[in-house]
């Protein structure tokens, strides 16, 4: 009897190595391969997916910690509990905007939860001054992950509602 109780209470607790990423913007899903930029389309930075935004609010797709806010405000990286390193890149060729039209709501080291505001962007300004408004999300340490499941490959999504990716660490 004692052995039975010991086994019941001494079981090893395994933490999930899988995380889910929610829609980080309201808009339509786009495959990375369809982005008109070879760095993203050829997955040079890692695997992921993209959203063509219908509005300028960008939120955290995961619970994690802000690793880096680019000085030009066009990109933010987040590290998750399972070790996935996520890059949100707002628009194509937006670095040349030098932060104009971007309002960042987070700082490096800040803990974020799904749906927390990251950036507000003036999409009209991006349309006028940059190549494209598409927002890729990249798992930059793809090779360190066991698998990346793309749960939605097309259609419309609402910020912080639909799960778009699942990332499992090795």
Residues with catalytic roles: 89
Report which of 131, 148, 121, 114 is spatially closest to residue 43, judged by C-alpha positions: 148
Q: Are 80 and 63 in contact (CB under 8 A)?
A: yes
Close Cβ partners of 38 (under 8 Å, ≥ 6 residues apart): 44
Report which of 41, 124, 126 is spatially closest to residue 90, judged by C-alpha positions: 126
**Type and span of the H or E element at 150:** strand 145-150
Exposed/middle/buried for 89, CB within 10 Å: 0-12, 13-18, 19+?
buried
**Type and span of the H or E element at 2:** helix 2-9
């Amino acid at each position: 009897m004692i052995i039975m109780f010991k086994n019941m209470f001494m079981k090893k607790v395994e933490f999930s190595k899988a995380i889910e990423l929610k829609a980080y913007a309201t808009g339509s899903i786009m495959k990375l391969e369809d982005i008109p930029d070879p760095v993203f389309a050829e997955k040079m930075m890692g695997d992921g997916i993209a959203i063509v935004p219908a509005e300028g609010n960008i939120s955290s797709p995961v619970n994690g910690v802000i690793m880096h806010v680019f000085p030009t405000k066009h990109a933010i990286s987040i590290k998750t509990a399972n070790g996935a390193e996520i890059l949100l890149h707002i628009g194509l060729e937006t670095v040349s905007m030098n932060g104009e039209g971007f309002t960042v709501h987070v700082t490096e080291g800040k803990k974020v939860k799904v749906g927390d505001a990251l950036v507000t962007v003036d999409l009209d300004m991006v349309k006028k001054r940059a190549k494209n408004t598409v927002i890729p999300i990249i798992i930059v340490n793809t090779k360190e992950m066991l698998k990346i499941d793309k749960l939605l490959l097309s259609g419309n999504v609402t910020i912080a509602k639909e799960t778009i990716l699942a990332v499992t660490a090795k």
